[in-house]
């Protein structure tokens, strides 16, 4: 059946006003079928709902709509089983699907009925519809992926209850914190990403179908009906807005970029933590790679690659913003450039989230090193300030006193924890025990 379709010399829907066929190079340049075929099942679904509306409002017969739907349903099944050959000469997914319908119905002597499908519709409202339907599903998949990362982090939090890790500001040791606080901070960023994607689902949820090319139609459509059947909350009221809006693509790309920036921050920390300078984590051997020259190396390729791919997703956001910048109303072909960006983001974001969730589930924390590093390098200095403040020493004085203690220890090559009672008393009489005794209570 497919072979026959390939050989059928069908005309393009718009050929009527042209006296020459399209230059081959222009055809290749103009085509989007090589990538927008990913929208095919959404395109057919949109057509099924569109045509059921046409009979509902009396623009075509009930029997005609039933026939078209029968053929479209088969085409949808073939699309889903990858059993369709798309043709370059039919430019994009919309014209390809219509061509397949025409071909199949012509074989059964029904071409005159197939020709009614595109009544009161344009590829402009069609492409907006397909893209919205695709993005809605894609967003749900991405949310599932983000939840995978959140739950991998949950696993580490549970396995490391009560463990401390140095907290940093300016990448200098600041104060000890619970590892669970640090890991939960990652989760909070990711939970906001989930919300951000969910918010997008609300904004995108209005149907552009029925807007035609830009001006709607003089024919009597039921846009509310198609919107509902297609799973939308309502219609995009303004017909020009229906076909010219790509905010939902920008919102999608923006949420993807923010998510990837979050992953890049998480990955950066994983990379730092795995270095011999930090030694906070051990990366599972199945998740690291070696060097072709240096036998000693074990490289954190996975988080590095995710960090790198965040650049690519930020690039995609920049691309869609610049594509849309200054575009006059309504539809312009520039907008065709949004598809590859969407598909690239989908692939990259889902892949990175999935791999990172596995990576995180398989790291082990070096508890000994963490215990050491949450005591050394004066990281507990703030506790001594608090100790003095609790004894009614004004905060500014307490801060100054402990600053002097740190300076003294530094000058004398001493660890804060080794300060004797006598030494402590020299700084303030309220420090009435040796430093080890004072500080130990903060590490219970």
Q: Least distance (Å) from ligand ARG to the CB of residue 304? A: 35
Q: Least distance (Å) from ligand ARG to the CB of residue 209? A: 14
CB nearer ligand ARG, residue 94 or residue 309? 94
Say how far residue 382 (Cα) sits from the centre of its chain: 39
Q: Least distance (Å) from ligand ARG to the CB of residue 123? A: 4
Q: Least distance (Å) from ligand ARG to the CB of residue 22? A: 13
- 138 touches ligand ARG (CB under 6 A): no
Closest CA to 205 of 234, 229, 247: 234
Between CA 107 and CA 100 the distance in angstroms is 11
Between CA 257 and CA 259 the distance in angstroms is 5
- Footprint of ligand ARG on 85-104 (CB under 6 A): 92
- Footprint of ligand ARG on 26-85 (CB under 6 A): 32, 36
Query: For 177, phi and psi rounded to 5 degrees?
Result: -135, 165
| Cβ neighbours for 337, distance < 8 A, ≥ 6 positions apart | 319, 320, 323
Burial 95-132 (b: 16+ CB within 10 A, else e): bbbbbbbbbbbeeeebeebbbbbbebbbbbbbbbbbbb
- 393 touches ligand ARG (CB under 6 A): no
| Cβ neighbours for 77, distance < 8 A, ≥ 6 positions apart | none
Tell me the per-residue interface mask from 155 to 184 with ligand ARG, x by CB under 6 A, - otherwise.
Answer: ------------------------------
Query: Given candidates 336, 351, 362, 366, which one binds ligand ARG under the rule CB under 6 A?
Result: 336
**DSSP designation for 238:** S
**DSSP designation for 168:** E
Stretch that binds ligand ARG, among 121-129, 297-305, 318-326, 346-354 (CB under 6 A): 121-129
Stretch that binds ligand ARG, among 122-130, 216-224, 313-321, 366-374 (CB under 6 A): 122-130
Q: Least distance (Å) from ligand ARG to the CB of residue 124? A: 5
Query: Token pair of 93, please?
Result: 């997914």
- 123 touches ligand ARG (CB under 6 A): yes
List residues near ligand ARG by CB under 6 A. Answer: 32, 36, 92, 123-124, 127, 331, 333, 335-336
């Amino acid at each position: 059946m497919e072979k026959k379709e390939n050989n059928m010399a069908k005309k393009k829907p718009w050929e009527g006003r042209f006296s020459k066929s399209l230059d081959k190079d222009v055809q290749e340049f103009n085509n989007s079928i090589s990538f927008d075929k990913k929208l095919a099942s959404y395109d057919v679904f949109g057509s099924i709902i569109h045509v059921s509306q046409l009979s509902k409002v009396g623009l075509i017969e009930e029997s005609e709509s039933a026939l078209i739907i029968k053929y479209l349903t088969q085409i949808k099944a073939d699309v889903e089983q990858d059993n369709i050959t798309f043709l370059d000469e039919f430019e994009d997914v919309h014209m390809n699907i219509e061509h397949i319908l025409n071909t199949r119905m012509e074989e059964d002597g029904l071409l005159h009925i197939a020709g009614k499908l595109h009544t009161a519709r344009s590829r402009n409202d069609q492409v907006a519809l397909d893209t919205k339907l695709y993005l809605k599903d894609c967003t749900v998949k991405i949310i599932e992926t983000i939840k995978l990362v959140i739950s991998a982090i949950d696993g580490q939090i549970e396995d490391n209850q009560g463990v401390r890790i140095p907290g940093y500001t300016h990448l200098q040791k600041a104060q000890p914190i619970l590892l669970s606080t640090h890991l939960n901070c990652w989760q909070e960023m990711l939970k906001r990403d989930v919300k951000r994607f969910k918010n997008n689902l609300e904004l995108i949820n209005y149907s552009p179908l029925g807007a035609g090319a830009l001006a709607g139609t003089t024919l009597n459509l039921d846009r509310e009906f198609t919107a509902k059947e297609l799973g939308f909350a309502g219609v995009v009221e303004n017909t020009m807005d229906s076909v010219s809006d790509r905010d939902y693509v920008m919102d999608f790309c923006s949420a993807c970029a923010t998510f990837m920036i979050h992953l890049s921050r998480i990955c950066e920390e994983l990379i730092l933590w795995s270095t011999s300078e930090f030694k906070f984590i051990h990366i599972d051997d199945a998740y690291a790679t070696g060097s072709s020259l240096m036998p000693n190396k074990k490289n954190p390729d996975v988080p590095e690659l995710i960090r790198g791919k965040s650049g690519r997703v930020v690039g995609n956001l920049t691309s869609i913003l610049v594509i849309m910048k200054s575009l006059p109303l309504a539809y312009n072909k520039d907008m065709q450039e949004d598809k590859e960006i969407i598909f690239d983001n989908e692939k990259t974001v889902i892949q990175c989230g999935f791999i990172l969730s596995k990576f995180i589930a398989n790291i082990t924390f070096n508890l000994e090193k963490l215990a050491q590093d949450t005591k050394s390098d004066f990281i507990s200095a703030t506790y001594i300030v608090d100790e003095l403040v609790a004894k009614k020493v004004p905060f500014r004085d307490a801060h100054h006193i402990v600053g002097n203690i740190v300076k003294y220890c530094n000058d004398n090559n001493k660890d804060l924890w080794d300060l004797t009672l006598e030494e402590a008393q020299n700084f303030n009489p309220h420090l009435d025990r040796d430093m080890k005794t004072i500080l130990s209570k903060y590490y219970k």
